[in-house]
Amino acid sequence: MSTEQKQLRKKVRRWLLFFAAALVVSGITAFPLQWEAGLLKQWAHLLPSSAEPWIEKVYNALKNINEEHPFFFYGTDWLAFSHIVIATAFIGPFRDPIKNIWVIEFGMIACLMVFPLAFIAGQLRGIPFYWQLIDCSFGLLGLIPLYFAHRHTKRLELLDQPAQLRIIK
């Protein structure tokens, strides 16, 4: 394996590790929703004034649900778990990016799918537009490391081919 191939593998692994860690962290944040909303409520004065009523509404709803119907949070527990499970899928491309490039592509497609979900479900559920944009930012931010992992994997794939095939392409 050439030095360039080793460097590309390192780059792919770094991008995938960053993405998987971010996915796990974003999943874990689905566990303490009321506490997080309480923190956001405390700091809402630092945000645009139009955000304060929304944050207050979200906090009050979460508090009410937690007091009256805590079992509803079981759904967000599964949301958190699914983030962690999806992150484990990236072990495959971490080990062998060329063979498992489809996982990277799956992740990129999933990141793009955030946009229609945020805009369609956000509209149906009465989520303010600026909050839908915040949700979309997660898709965009997830797409960035996966794009670089994909690009480096494609380059690595090209370098792994015999020299005669590289000339033909």
> In the chain, where are the structural domains located?
3-168
What is the distance, to the nearest Å, from the Cα of residue 16 to the centroid of all Cα atoms in its chain? Answer: 12
The more confident residue out of 147 and 164 is 147
What is the distance, to the nearest Å, from the Cα of residue 72 to the centroid of all Cα atoms in its chain? Answer: 23
Is the predicted pLDDT of residue 168 greater than 80, yes or no? no
- In sequence order, which residues have a C-beta less than 8 Å from that of residue 160 and are 6 or more positions away? 5, 98
Strand ranges (E), 50-106 = none
Is the predicted pLDDT of residue 52 greater than 70, yes or no? yes
Side-chain half-sphere CA neighbours of 54 within 13 A? 12
Is the predicted pLDDT of residue 166 greater than 70, yes or no? no
Using DSSP's 3-state secondary structure scheme, residue 32 falls into coil
Give pTM, 2 decimals.
Answer: 0.86
Going by C-alpha positions, the residue among 162, 158, 142, 161 that lies closest to residue 16 is: 142
Contact 146, 2 (CB under 8 A): no
